[in-house]
Amino acid sequence: MSASMGGAGALRGARRGGEFVLQVALTLLGLLAVTFFIGRVVPIDPVLAVVGDQAPRDVYEAVRAELGLDQPLWMQFWLYVQKMAVGDFGTSLVTNRPVLDDIARVFPATLELATIATIIGVVLGVPMGIAGAVYQDRWPDQLVRVIGLVGYSVPIFWLGIMGLLVFYGILGWVAGPGRLGVFFEDIVTPITGVILIDAAIAGEWEVFWNAVSHVVLPAAVLGYFSIAYIARMTRSFMLDQLSQEYVITARAKGLSEARIIWVHALKNISVQLITVIALSYARLLEGAVLTETVFAWPGLGRYLTTALLAADMNAVLGGTLVVGAVFVGLNLLSDALYKLMDPRAR
């Protein structure tokens, strides 16, 4: 009896695993299709980007055939999927290097910036959202609402420019644009690609603190928008929990307000917060284009901007695919954590 039950459980587990793998494969295939057709719809001719608009017709046709653009659309897509499956994103017209190598070089900078910004958003946004719910319609709640409203309304490039003007240009509290000062470049051998980690591993503390001085302002600008989103969602979740019967019962039993809020209510919204934080992190990873442009931050957003302006479609599509894969991965991770923390969702 137990053996048959164990076999049935293993079968269910294998089936769920197969469904999960199929779901991921179909999602990535859909992502490939979207990026492919975006590349074919945008009014940019990749052949002209290679040969120029003064090239003879025979040269144009030869390059078009070499890029496979003379094939039927379904064949082009099939060739595109085959290349993506083996990690062949093509060669960048701007850098003349494989796109995958370029992305591996610039993505750690975006990862570093978005991670620090997300930490700022979580550390400040969650307590602010809780305070807004606990002191509903009083001054702490009004302050949280104003911060959220400004975070959603003010253009991020304007906030970045004002931050540079005030904290770098006038006060001199932080370093200027870029990831490192000129005198500190190429001192640390890249290991992880994250300069703060690599500098700490190498024991180059001058490089480390110079990197901190450069990252603090763009991370704070991005983190502010993360704070606005996380605080708003935390406040909404907490207001819902504070109106539940178990909170009223806990108060009637004499539990302290701090314990009710920070232990019981926060625990019940933790699963929802994981999803919110994951989505916020993904948005920062793909939405740092303007911030990276303003601060001359050598990350994926700036790389994609440069590639788009140069009609470098290999780089644009490769970067878009990576961003989409990050979104898919973080959503799958949040779903897995959701099921891990909440047995009812299993």
Residue 8 binned pLDDT confidence (cut-offs 50, 70, 90): low
The gap from C-alpha 264 to its chain's centroid, in whole angstroms, comes to: 30
Measured from the Cβ of residue 166, the count of other Cβ atoms closer than 10 Å reads 13
Instruction: Based on the fold, state whether residues 54 and 8 are members of the same structural domain.
Output: yes
Instruction: Based on the fold, state whether residues 145 and 35 are members of the same structural domain.
Output: no
DSSP 3-state of 98: strand
Instruction: Based on the fold, state whether residues 117 and 242 are members of the same structural domain.
Output: yes
Structure tokens at 90: 């093509």
Q: In this structure, what CATH number is given to the domain that contains residue 280?
A: 1.10.3720.10
Instruction: Based on the fold, state whether residues 144 and 26 are members of the same structural domain.
Output: no
- 175 located within any domain: no
Residue 117 binned pLDDT confidence (cut-offs 50, 70, 90): very high
Q: Is 181 within 8 Å of 189 (Cβ atoms)?
A: no
DSSP character string of 300-338? HHHHHHHHHHTT-HHHHHHHHHHHHHHHHHHHHHHHHHH
- 149 located within any domain: yes
Measured from the Cβ of residue 139, the count of other Cβ atoms closer than 10 Å reads 8
- 68 located within any domain: yes
- The average confidence (pLDDT) of the chain is 82
Note down the domain range covering 74.
2-85
- Give yes or no for residue 304 having a pLDDT over 90: no
The count of domains in the chain is 2
Instruction: Based on the fold, state whether residues 144 and 289 are members of the same structural domain.
Output: yes
Instruction: Based on the fold, state whether residues 14 and 44 are members of the same structural domain.
Output: yes
Residue 5 binned pLDDT confidence (cut-offs 50, 70, 90): low
Distance, in Å, from the CA atom of 271 to the CA atom of 235, rounded to the nearest integer, reads 14
Instruction: Based on the fold, state whether residues 12 and 149 are members of the same structural domain.
Output: no
Distance, in Å, from the CA atom of 169 to the CA atom of 203, rounded to the nearest integer, reads 30
Q: What is the per-residue pLDDT across 221-280, written as a single tens digit (0 to 9) for each?
A: 999 988 989 999 999 999 988 888 888 888 888 888 888 888 888 888 888 888 888 888
- 134 located within any domain: yes
Instruction: Based on the fold, state whether residues 107 and 42 are members of the same structural domain.
Output: no
Give pTM, 2 decimals.
0.82
Q: What are phi and psi of 57, to 5 degrees?
A: -65, -40
Distance, in Å, from the CA atom of 305 to the CA atom of 315, rounded to the nearest integer, reads 10
More confident residue, 168 or 28: 168
- 29 located within any domain: yes
Q: What are phi and psi of 179, to 5 degrees?
A: -100, -25
Instruction: Based on the fold, state whether residues 332 and 267 are members of the same structural domain.
Output: yes
Instruction: Based on the fold, state whether residues 259 and 299 are members of the same structural domain.
Output: yes
Instruction: Based on the fold, state whether residues 55 and 116 are members of the same structural domain.
Output: no
Stretch (H or E) spanning 215: helix 205-242
Distance, in Å, from the CA atom of 304 to the CA atom of 301, rounded to the nearest integer, reads 5
Distance, in Å, from the CA atom of 308 to the CA atom of 184, rounded to the nearest integer, reads 30
- 331 located within any domain: yes
